[in-house]
């Protein structure tokens, strides 16, 4: 697969065309942003960790019946993925209260839910990714009712698989954001990334944060936390 021209540069990744119309190459950067781009920095080694972690978790999800965009890891930072049209919804699944959920509803972090919640935000930086419900998503023609049902089904399957996987690593999967895309024939698959940038991951015993909240909240030890979570994943998949 040869790398073609750069299509897009996002906050954490670059995307390149390839010699095949159906595939793209993503290249993970060490750049980190938070609060809709207001806070900027770098996390040394993050690109390598996010690339490898996302690929391994997507491979695991494929074996459990969740189709993903993952095709082939090319190098430490680069991966071939299926070309999709991203559904402009951030799909957020929560098992425990944290972050914007706690802020919105005025509750402490760490409340364990009886069942996971799925919520959608409209992927739109200018509007600050506003929260919306299924009917709003359909009204705005962001997805059809059928597509939303499939997305929710996959999001909950991801929750089942990854909660169990991380528990085996001594890690609690608190919440995370998924993005889905559509192939040219309309098939919905999981796209984007699954990494400490997009998940809240707490040590099950100490509740220590092993994710991007260390960067968002200036807690220090960011690189160490990313390295630790990757070490645990590697141990589990040995
Ligand atoms: N998240 C993300 N990108 C976003 C917003 C959220 O990856 O643009 C992830 C975030 O890392 C967390 C989960 O989605 O694991 C829920 O985030 P929340 O809605 O609590 O927002 P935050 O507190 O991160 O602003």
DSSP 10-70: -SSEEEEEESSTTEEEEEE-SEEEETTTTEEEE-TTHHHHHHHHHHHHHHHHHHTT--BSE
Pairing of β 131-132 and β 171-182: unpaired
pLDDT in single tens digits along all 238 residues of the chain: 899 999 999 999 999 999 999 999 999 999 999 999 999 999 999 999 999 999 999 999 999 999 999 999 999 999 999 999 999 999 999 999 999 999 999 999 999 999 999 999 999 999 999 999 999 999 999 999 999 999 999 999 999 999 999 999 999 999 999 999 999 999 999 999 999 999 999 999 999 999 999 999 999 999 999 999 999 999 999 8
Q: Kindly state if the Cβ of 198 falls inside 6 Å of ligand 1.
A: yes
Distances (CA, A) of 157 to 137, 162, 163, 192: 21, 8, 10, 17
Please tell me if the CB atom of residue 26 comes closer than 6 angstroms to any atom of ligand 1.
no
Which letter, b or e, does each residue of 45-72 get, where b requires 16 or more Cβ atoms within 10 Å of its Cβ? Answer: ebbbbbbbbbbbbbebbeeeebbbbbbe
Predicted pLDDT at 238: 87
* 3 state DSSP class of 123: coil
Mutation test residue for ligand 1: of 92, 120, 191, 210, the one with most atoms within 8 Å of CB: 92
**How many angstroms does the Cα of residue 59 sit away from the middle of ligand 1?**
23
Task: State phi, psi for 191 to the nearest 5 degrees.
Answer: -130, -160
Rg (CA), the chain: 17
pTM of this structure: 0.97
Q: What CATH number was assigned to the domain covering residues 85-218?
A: 3.30.470.20
Are residues 66 and 190 in contact, defined by beta-carbon separation less than 8 angstroms? yes
Report how far ligand 1's centroid is from the alpha carbon of 34 (Å): 9
How many residues would you count in the chain? Answer: 238
pLDDT of residue 156: 98
CA atoms within 13 A on the CB side of 80: 14
- Residue 221 DSSP code: -
Determine the CATH number of domain 3-82.
3.30.200.20
The CB density around residue 91, as the number of other CB atoms within 10 Å, is 23
- Residue corresponding to tokens 């260390």: 214
Q: Which two tokens mark 217?
A: 């909240």
Q: To which residue do tokens 């979570």 refer?
A: 229
To test the ligand 1 pocket, which listed residue (100, 121, 226) has its Cβ within 8 A of the most ligand atoms? 100
Which residues, in sequence order, are bridge partners of residue 41? 32
Domain residue ranges in the chain = 3-82, 85-218
Do 120 and 155 meet the contact criterion of CB atoms below 8 Å apart?
no
Q: Residue 109: phi, psi to the nearest 5?
A: -80, 150
* Parallel/antiparallel/unpaired status of strands 171-182 and 89-96: antiparallel
**Which atom of ligand 1 is nearest the CA belonging to 212?**
11
């Amino acid at each position: 697969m040869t790398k073609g021209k750069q299509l897009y540069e996002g906050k954490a990744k670059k995307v390149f065309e390839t010699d095949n119309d159906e595939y793209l190459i993503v290249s993970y950067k060490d750049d980190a942003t938070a609060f809709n781009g207001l806070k900027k920095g770098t996390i040394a080694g993050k690109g390598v960790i996010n690339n490898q972690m996302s690929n391994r978790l997507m491979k695991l999800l494929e074996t459990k019946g969740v189709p993903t965009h993952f095709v082939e890891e090319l190098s430490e930072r680069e991966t071939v993925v299926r070309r999709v049209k991203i559904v402009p919804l951030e799909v957020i699944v929560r098992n425990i209260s944290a972050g914007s959920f706690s802020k919105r509803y005025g509750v402490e972090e760490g409340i364990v839910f009886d069942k996971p919640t799925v919520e959608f935000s409209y992927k739109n930086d200018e509007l600050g990714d506003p929260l919306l419900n299924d009917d709003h998503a359909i009204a705005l023609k962001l997805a059809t009712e059928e597509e939303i049902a499939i997305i929710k089904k996959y999001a909950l399957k991801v929750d089942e698989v990854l909660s169990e996987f991380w528990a085996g690593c001594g890690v609690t999967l608190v919440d995370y954001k998924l993005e889905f895309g559509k192939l040219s024939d309309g098939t919905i698959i999981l796209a984007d990334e699954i990494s400490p940038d997009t998940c809240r991951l707490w040590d099950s015993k100490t509740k220590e944060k092993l994710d991007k909240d260390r960067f968002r909240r200036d807690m220090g030890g960011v690189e160490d936390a990313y390295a630790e979570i990757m070490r645990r994943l590697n141990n589990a998949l040995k």
